Amino acid sequence: MVKLVFIDLEEGRHELDCDTGKSLMECAIENLVPGVQAECGGGLSCATCHVYVDESWMAAVGEPTNKVETVLMESLDSHQHNSRLSCQIHLEESLDGLTVTVAPAIF
């Protein structure tokens, strides 16, 4: 179990306890975090689970894969250096306390 913090588009704070082994996206969907749509269900094709990783967590989350980077760059005007697809962040103990901000919807 890890603690996570999602900041939504209205700057609402959602502090959640989530099971390790799941993706960040799955945790957001299960807990109805506003703005995380996950249209493709984690298939790495829609970017509707886009989040901005808090700067203090960048090293722990790591760099995006080439595929993630491609999806982000092709799908989003709101792409930033700390953009990630939450479906590709897999929860493990080292991410306890992770804070992310939900990115604006792409449609």
Write down the pLDDT at residue 66.
Answer: 93
Q: Which amino acid is it at 53?
A: V
- The CATH number of residue 50's host domain is 3.10.20.30
- Distance in angstroms (rounded) separating the CA atoms of residues 11 and 69: 26
Residue 52 is assigned to a structural domain of this protein: yes
Provide the 10 A C-beta neighbour count for residue 105.
13
The alpha-helical segments, DSSP class H, found in the chain are 24-30, 58-61, 66-75
Taking the model in full, what pTM does it have? Answer: 0.92
How confident is the model over 69-84, as a mean pLDDT?
A: 85
Provide the 10 A C-beta neighbour count for residue 63.
10
Total tally of structural domains belonging to the chain: 1
How confident is the model over 11-15, as a mean pLDDT?
A: 92
pLDDT tens per residue across span 50-76 = 999 999 999 999 999 999 989 888 876
Residue 107 is assigned to a structural domain of this protein: no
